[in-house]
Amino acid sequence: MSAPAPTSSNPTTTSTTSTSSSSPVEPTRRAGGRPILLLGLVAIGWLALYNVIEPLANWLTYSLFGLEHGSRLGESVAFFLYDVPKIILLLGGMIFVITLIRSFFSPEQTRAFLGGKREGVGNVLAASLGVVTPFCSCSAVPLFIGFVESGIPLGVTFSFLVAAPLVNEIALVMLFGLFGWQIALLYMVSGLVIAVLAGIIIGRLKLERYVEDFVWQIHSGKAALDLTKPAWPQCLNMGWQSVKEIVGKVWLYVIVGIAVGAAIHGYVPQSALADIMGKDAWWSVPAAVGLGVPLYSNAAGVMPVVNALMEKGAALGTVLAFMMAVVGLSLPEMIILRRVLKPQLIGIFIAILAAGITLTGYVFNWLL
Amino acid sequence: MLNVKVLGSGCANCKKLEAVVRKVLAAQGLSAEVEKVTDYAEIMKWHILSTPGLVVNDKVVSTGRIPGESELRNWLMP
């Protein structure tokens, strides 16, 4: 095998050289220790910042600006000054960690792993792997074709395709930052359940005829790819790149969203929304799902608003349903999938997902 | 002659990958033929599951990510 990069083809040497900065290594690898040191410094800085933002926000609001404790304006300003840096820091830190975890997985490995698994077990595995496998909706088509033609059942493929966007990392981080880990976990688990069930239902319905015909005609064979795994410094770099990319994309939404949330926090009277968005308003869940579908790109900005709404009496199930509809049922992804799925299957796919999300909303409103 | 193919349907990352490849080629003073493969049937012939994919002289070197410049130099330099 004439690998063009023989130095990075051996994962063991790579990891040892990158963790021990003192060992003498060839010049191309010398920078290996630096990223680790830098990473440590960044982590310490991150922690220090994270712990200082709340007192700082309070000091700015009440001492520097001289706003009154408990006043509406004071509450809103303190809320804004604390939440913006908190969410941005959380997003940055966690996206980095998530990218590192994901660098251990690849769609190719996932496909090999799912091959030959029964329905049921296969659906559960596919949904779980959908969460950790790096996936961008623009890859949905090659991934779909690759899965289906290697013999993975349609239903199992769908479990993967539902879970990947539905358990969204940005939403997960924002839920964690704004609502606490319990709700973030609840969101992840219900997303997984929906993905498993949706896949099983689609599998049972035998919808293969609604897959575009050309998909069945592609036979790319199962030739294994011989890829060199990125080395540690590269993984760190990838983590940093995705932090820059995602934070760069959403920071404005976060700020605007938190500003609106802060205004609601300070000015809307307590439980004003209990009537229209509370548990007893049965129609609020489907309405939230209907509203969430076209809002895809604003997931990051919607969250703080939703958080503030919940404080004022909106029910948790309604809020979760809204969130899931925002991230899981995106129009752009449907348009991409239209290349490989006939409209009937797209319709069924959307209907099952929307029904699953709505049901989840009701279950949580009823449970909690 | 060096042949580089960027596999992808035209998503943002595919364009970014192409830009980085061209940048590294220019920085190293290499001349190469850079092709963009956007047709799914063509893309699937390379057995990849995620885009963007990068093919250097008929060998897939990376998929689903944008490699760093140092990695690219490794693959592109003879």
- HEC letters along B2-71: EEEEEECCCCHHHHHHHHHHHHHHHHHCCCEEEEEECCHHHHHCCCCCCCCEEEECCEEEEECCCCCHHH
Residue with tokens 């939404």: A253
Task: Give domain status of residue A221, yes or no.
Answer: no
The tens digit of pLDDT for each residue in B19-70 reads 999 999 998 888 888 989 888 888 888 888 888 889 998 888 888 888 888 8
Q: Which of A194, A174, A195 is nearest to A184 (CA)?
A: A174
Overall residue count recorded for chain B in this entry: 78
Tell me whether residues B61 and A28 touch, CB distance under 8 A. Answer: no
CA atoms of B13 and A337, how far apart (whole Å): 18
User: Residue A211 has what DSSP assignment?
Assistant: B
Selected residue of A222, A225, A226 to mutate for chain B interface (largest B Cβ count, 10 A): A225
Q: Would you say the ipTM is above 0.90?
A: no
Sequence-ordered list of residues with C-beta below 8 angstroms from that of B56, at least 6 positions apart, any chain = A4, B2, B3, B4, B75, B76
- Identify which has the larger pLDDT, A233 or A12: A233
Chain A positions touching B65 (Cβ under 8 A) are: 134, 230, 238
Confidence check: pLDDT of A295 > 70: no
Question: How far is B63 from A106, CA to CA, in rounded Å?
Answer: 9
The per-residue pLDDT for B74 is 86
pLDDT average, residue stretch A261-290: 75
Q: What is the pLDDT of residues A218-240, one digit of tens each?
A: 766 555 566 666 667 777 777 88
Please indicate, yes or no, if residue A314 is contained in any of the structural domains: yes
Q: How far is B71 from chain A (nearest CA, A)?
A: 8
The verdict on residue A177 lying in a domain is yes
Give the tokens for residue B33.
């033929």
Pairing of strands B2-7, B53-56: antiparallel
The Cα–Cα gap between B68 and A113 comes to 28
Q: Could you tell me if A183 and A348 are in contact, meaning their C-beta atoms sit under 8 angstroms apart?
A: no
| Choice between A129 and A22, residue whose per-residue pLDDT is larger | A129
Q: Which pLDDT score is estimated for A325?
A: 85
Q: B interface mutation test: which of A105, A139, A244 has the most B CBs within 10 A?
A: A139
Q: Which residue type does A256 have?
A: V
Which pLDDT value is given to residue A192?
Answer: 95
Are A175 and A187 in contact by the 8 Å Cβ rule? The answer is: yes
Q: Count the domains in chain B.
A: 1
Query: Quick check: is A330 in a domain?
Result: yes
Facing residue for B41 by CB, picked from A214, A223, A230: A214
Average pLDDT, chain A: 79
Give the pLDDT score at A160.
Answer: 92
- Domain enclosing residue A317, as ranges: 107-215+230-235+251-367
Q: How many domains does chain A have?
A: 1
Give me the mean pLDDT over the A28-40 stretch: 65
Residue B6's DSSP bridge partners are B36, B54
Q: Which residue among B13, B63, B66 sits closest to A227, beta carbon to beta carbon? A: B63
Residue A1 has pLDDT above 60, yes or no: no
| Distance from the B5 Cα atom to the nearest Cα atom in chain A, whole angstroms | 16
- Is A326 a member of any domain? yes
Tell whether the model's pLDDT for residue A77 goes beyond 50. Answer: yes
| Strand arrangement of the beta sheet that strand B59-63 belongs to | B32-37, B2-7, B53-56, B59-63
Query: Counting Cβ atoms within 10 Å, is residue A220 exposed (0-12), middle (13-18) or buried (19+)?
Result: middle
3-state helix, strand, coil in chain A (%, to 5): 75, 0, 25
Domain region containing B58: 2-76
* Chain A residues lying within 8 Å of B60, measured CB to CB: 225-227
CATH number at residue B70: 3.40.30.10
Residues of B in contact with A146 (CB under 8 A): 44, 47-49
